[in-house]
Amino acid sequence: MSITLPTSHPFSLRQLQYAVAVAELLSFRKAAERCFVSQPSLSAQLQQLEDTLGIRLFERNQRRVLVTTAGRELLARAERVLREADDLLAAAKRAGDPLTGLLRIGVIPTVSPYLLPSCSTALRAAYGRLTTVWVEDKTAVLLRGLEQGSLDAALLALTADVRDVEHETVAIDPFVLATGPADPLGARDAEVRLAELRDAQVLLLDDGHCFREQALAFCATAKARELEFRATSLPTLAQMVASGMGVTLLPHLAVATEAARAQLLLRRFAKPAPHRTLALVWRKGSPLATALRQVAQTIRDAYPSDSLPTGPQVAKHSQSPARKQPRARR
């Protein structure tokens, strides 16, 4: 069965772009400014689009703009068409060498300060004609950026919420127990077992951080008690623990930096130890997939190699003035 395609479409990508901008900003004036066009011209193009589709996309008066019920579904399709058009252009520009031009990568806050210094240097050395722009934000925001096409990829921890994407694993990042210098829980040499954390007072990150959800699930299994205070960053979390407010879990990637800033005692967890899987993710069907797998390999090669000691006692990166800690066995 053959399908007859129209010789031309009755609307343009530019009209779809105008419509999507109005739907996002709920303002014809702001949409016109974003699209670098006069408001009367934008309004005329949208009126033509509505006439062509036979559907009102917006309800508008002098006070507000609303997306109609029918328009909501059509505009979602328009967004997908525009993303595909962007991917088509990207594929054409990078057909000769996909590792040139601009690459926009999102990264979560619990990874960026600890991994970007090494991997940014490695990427510049490996791909001299590639400019990498890093955008730091929480997982949900980065995934939305991927879906909308404002990001090409994102470096984050895989969770149940990370779906409908392709990915390449960068590293397995184990968690360690961090306590203040006077906490007897941190002074023990043996690996941490769940029973030791029963009723322990645990400090965690604020809502929206994927690391919080992963640590919270483990602490719930251990029957530990979360304190009301929630930190907005790992440095804040480490400093509160160092003051003796409670204990916490730190990703190994952050240990060298945060333990050097605060007087923390660190212990490994007994197997099966809690951990997170760090990965570079991108949209399914992205024309940059092959190039992004190479980028992921470069990041993997640049991943910090300073591992924790292999013995049961984790190194004490900072020592209390009150008592000297024994050197970790290697």
Per-residue confidence of the chain (330 residues) as pLDDT tens digits?
455 555 577 888 899 999 999 999 999 999 999 999 999 999 999 999 999 989 899 988 778 889 998 888 899 999 988 888 887 877 776 666 778 888 999 999 999 999 999 999 999 999 988 999 999 999 889 999 998 889 999 999 988 677 789 999 999 999 888 888 888 787 777 888 877 888 778 888 776 667 777 777 777 776 677 777 777 788 888 888 888 888 888 899 998 888 877 778 888 888 888 888 999 999 998 888 999 999 999 999 999 876 443 333 343 433 333 333 333 333
- Which residues does 306 contact at the CB level (< 8 Å), separation at least 6? 256
Q: What pLDDT does residue 142 have?
A: 94
- 252 Cβ partners below 8 Å, 6+ apart? 173, 174, 175, 176, 307, 308
In the chain, where the domains are located: 13-93, 101-171+278-302, 172-276
What end-to-end distance do the CA atoms of the chain give, in Å? 70
Please give the Cα distance from 36 to 229 (Å, whole number).
Answer: 46
Taking residue 257's Cβ as centre, other Cβ atoms within 10 Å add up to 16
For 94, residues 6+ apart whose C-beta sits below 8 A from its C-beta are 100, 101, 287, 288, 291
Q: Which fold has domain 13-93?
A: Arc Repressor Mutant, subunit A (1.10.10)
Whole-Å CA distances, 291 to 95, 168, 288, 297? 11, 11, 5, 10
Q: What is the pLDDT at residue 237?
A: 84
Contacts 24+ apart (CB under 8 A), 1-10: 10/52
Class of domain 172-276: alpha beta
Amino acid found at 58: F
Are 13-93 and 172-276 the same fold in CATH? no
Q: What is the CATH number of domain 101-171+278-302?
A: 3.40.190.10
Q: What secondary structure does DSSP assign to 47-68, as a single string?
A: HHHHHHHTS--EEE-SS-EEE-
Q: How far is residue 209 from each of residues 75, 154, 163, 221, measured CA to CA in Å?
A: 30, 15, 17, 19
